[in-house]
Amino acid sequence: MPAPSGARFKEALARSLKKARPRRLRLRGFISCAVLVPVVALKEGPALLLTVRNRGLSSHGGQIAFPGGRKERGDISLRAAALRETREELGIPENRIEILGPLDDVPTPLGFVISPWVGWFEQAPDLVPQAREVEAFFFVPCSRLRRPSCYSQGGWREIAGRRYPLPEFRAGRRRIWGATARIIQDLLRRAG
């Protein structure tokens, strides 16, 4: 049973996601990919499940990210890609994830457009991280990410002719930045 703050968070987020259409981007030359934004109802309140990518990976090694990747041939949608990648990276079956809805697409300077999908868990899922891709995982309470001391605005970056903010979050000694931070910023804004 989630803490009352978890139930309120879920309700506010689900209502916001149903009401607002996500901003979808189709940028010439950019590769479509998707991530799952796992929100877990912990005793302390809602928390995000984040991964540390294996340092040996050629792309984004050692960075903090949500589970996800490119849309593959067998994926019928970006949502399906996010669910498949979550199963492959963390061992979470698709039927254990309650999808609340999509967030706005996030373009990256390296030519990807990320479609984030919010997944809700009433309790921490059993995780079987795939060591080739995931070095570690951790939970960070959403209440912590809302603290002014954990957030900074690092300027702006132009991507495909449009300016985007560069937020950064601190979770203890961990630095969350880039597309992951922009996704978190959108999620927290929508949750109210």
| Per-residue pLDDT tens digits for 120-133 | 999 999 999 888 88
In a domain, 179, yes or no: no
Judge contact between 151 and 145, C-beta under 8 A. yes
> Where on the phi/psi map is residue 96: left (φ > 0), alpha (ψ -120 to 50), or beta?
alpha
In a domain, 27, yes or no: yes
How many domains does the chain divide into? 1
Give me the domain span that covers residue 83: 4-144
In a domain, 34, yes or no: yes
In a domain, 167, yes or no: no
Q: Is the pLDDT of residue 34 over 60?
A: yes
Q: Indicate the range of 21-25, 105-109, 149-153 predicted with least confidence.
A: 21-25
Q: Is the pLDDT of residue 3 over 60?
A: no
Neighbour order of strands in the sheet with 174-176 = 151-159, 162-171, 174-176
Q: Is the pLDDT of residue 19 over 80?
A: yes
Judge contact between 150 and 169, C-beta under 8 A. yes
Question: What's the pLDDT score for residue 2?
Answer: 41
- Which one has a higher pLDDT value, 164 or 12? 12
Longest CA pairwise span in the chain (Å): 46
Predicted TM-score of the model (pTM): 0.90
Tokens for 148?
A: 């002014």
Give the rounded percent of residues in the chain with a pLDDT score beyond 90. 65
Q: How would you write the chain as a 3-class SS string?
A: CCCHHHHHHHHHHHHHHHHCCCCCCCCCCCEEEEEEEEEEEECCEEEEEEEEECCCCCCCCCCEECCEEECCCCCCCHHHHHHHHHHHHHCCCHHHCEEEEECCCEECCCCEEEEEEEEEECCCCCCCCCCCCEEEEEEEEHHHHCCHHHEEEEEEEEECCEEEEEEEEEECCEEECHHHHHHHHHHHHHHC
Confidence of residue 10 (pLDDT cuts 50, 70, 90): very high
Amino acid at 3: A
Q: What is the C-alpha to C-alpha distance for residues 29 and 125, in angstroms, rounded to an integer?
A: 36
In a domain, 9, yes or no: yes
Q: Is the pLDDT of residue 11 over 90?
A: yes
In a domain, 192, yes or no: no
In a domain, 62, yes or no: yes
Q: Is the pLDDT of residue 191 over 80?
A: yes
| Per-residue pLDDT tens digits for 45-104 | 999 999 998 876 556 556 899 999 999 999 999 999 999 999 999 999 999 999 999 999
In a domain, 79, yes or no: yes
Task: Identify the CATH number of the domain in which residue 82 sits.
Answer: 3.90.79.10
Q: What is the C-alpha to C-alpha distance for residues 86 and 149, in angstroms, rounded to an integer?
A: 30
